[in-house]
Structure 1
Amino acid sequence: MTSEKRRPRPATQYGPTAATVAANVRRIRERRGLTIYALSGALEKAGRPIAASAVAKIERMERQVTVDDLMALSVVLGVSPATLLLPADSRIDTEITGGGQVHARDAWMWAWCREPLRMPEHFDEEVYDRLVAEFMLISRPLGMYSGPGGADGPSVD
């Protein structure tokens, strides 16, 4: 053993998206009529065991949610992962980790692969169509592309 003291790990920094996930897990769990124990049991049955105490910590922002946790929580709660990541009210402003303050509607359009999160302040319709089409081509999987002016949702090509 070395004589060097172990440096304590820095405290985990929880950002605005973590706060949204925590609030949404609690909101949806309660709306579904699930206790923390029931949600924990359902997660275990789904192959992603998370103890009830850990679920409680997620809801209090005392435990990080991994990408795999987020997917399992989404499956078990019966919602899209975007539903856990974004605010329940699309009429408010929200903060997106790495993206700053945006209107929640814009965040939802981005999550649904409809529009980039941010657009230039001044642009014409041609520039808008090009930016949105490029965003959709890169963001959507093959077979799920519908360009600007297309169907309201993804089309299956």
Structure 2
Amino acid sequence: MTDEKRPARPAVQYGPTGETVAANVKSLRTRRGMTIYALSGALAKIGRPITASAIAKIEKQQRQVTVDDLVALASALQVSPDTLLLPWTDHGDEIVEVTGAGNLPAADVWSWAAGSNPPRLSEVDPVGELQRFQADARPPYARPLLTASSLTLSESQRAKFIAAGYAIDD
């Protein structure tokens, strides 16, 4: 070993979803009238202690949120984990950015998280792709019966199907 010091690791940059989680934790906490101390106490009660200073750092994007932290925060705030992960918008057609998925209409992002539709459909086999997604998005007991009339499409996905020449039942 040498006496040379290792270079400092660069801070992990927040992506759009990390930024959304930080903003949503703060927004939901304040809407519920909770202080960071109250949220910290609620987390401790459910077995995932996170200090008040750590919560403040999460909200300022100075501390990363682990998957376990995310689920515990959702439980303590009494919301779905999706509520922390996904951008809140006033309209479903607003374009939002999601890590790994890019820029999409908010309604498509929420539909993806709910297991209804993939974030994008190819033009080669959109019906087969949608059916595969819906079959793999949930365990068998939670899957809807997949029929042509039960396919759930957002407006933008519906337009892609029509543009690709598929007839859509109304």
TM score, norm. by length of structure 1? 0.87
| Structure 1 counterpart of 2:5 | 5
Alpha-carbon distance between aligned partners in 2 of 1:42 and 1:108, rounded to the nearest angstrom: 27
Counterpart for residue 82 of structure 2? 82
Q: Aligned residues: percent identity?
A: 52
Task: Find the counterpart in structure 1 of residue 126 from structure 2.
Answer: 128
Contact 2:16 2:97 in 1 (8 A): yes
Runs of 4+ in 1 over 4 A off after TM superposition: none
Residue 96 of structure 1 corresponds to which residue in structure 2?
Answer: 98
Name 2:155's counterpart in structure 1: none
Q: Please give the secondary structure, in 2, of the residue aligned with 1:4.
A: coil
Residue equivalent to 2:51: 51
Q: Give the letter for the 2:80 counterpart.
A: S
> Helix, strand or coil for the counterpart of 1:143?
helix
* Partners of 2:139 and 2:110 in 1: CA distance: 18
In the TM superposition, what is the alpha-carbon distance from 1:132 to its structure 2 partner? 1.5
Q: Secondary structure at the match of 1:33?
A: coil
Alignment of structure 1 residues 114-153 onto 2, 5 Å: 114-120=116-122, 122=123, 127-146=125-144, 147=146, 149-150=149-150
Tell me how far 1:57 sits from its aligned partner.
Answer: 0.7
Q: Which residue in the other structure is 2:107 paired with?
A: 105
Letter in structure 2 aligned against 1:145: R
In the alignment, does 2:5 pair up with 1:42? no
Q: Any idea what the Cα deviations from partners look like across 1:31-79, whole Å, max 9, x if unmatched? A: 1111110000100111111000110111111100000000000111111
**Could you list the per-position Cα deviations for residues 1-36 of structure 1 after superposition, in whole angstroms to 9, with x for gaps in the alignment?**
622212211111110001100111011111111111
Secondary structure of the equivalent of 1:24? helix
Q: What 5-or-longer segments of structure 2 have no aligned partner?
A: 153-170
Q: Please give the alpha-carbon distance, in whole angstroms, between the structure 2 residues aligned to 1:65 and 1:136.
A: 28
Number of positions where the alignment pairs a residue of Structure 1 with one of Structure 2: 148
Structure 1, unpaired ranges of 5+: 153-157
Q: Secondary structure at the match of 2:150?
A: coil
Q: What's the TM-score, normalizing by structure 2? A: 0.81
TM-align CA RMSD: 1.7
Which is further off, 54-63 or 138-147? 138-147
1:83-109 deviation digits (Å, cap 9, x = unpaired): 100011134211111111111111000
Q: Is the 8 A contact 2:43 2:73 kept in 1?
A: yes
Distance 1:38 1:100 in 2: 35
Counterparts of 2:71 and 2:17 in 1: how far apart (Å)?
15
* 1:151 to partner: Cα distance: 8.8
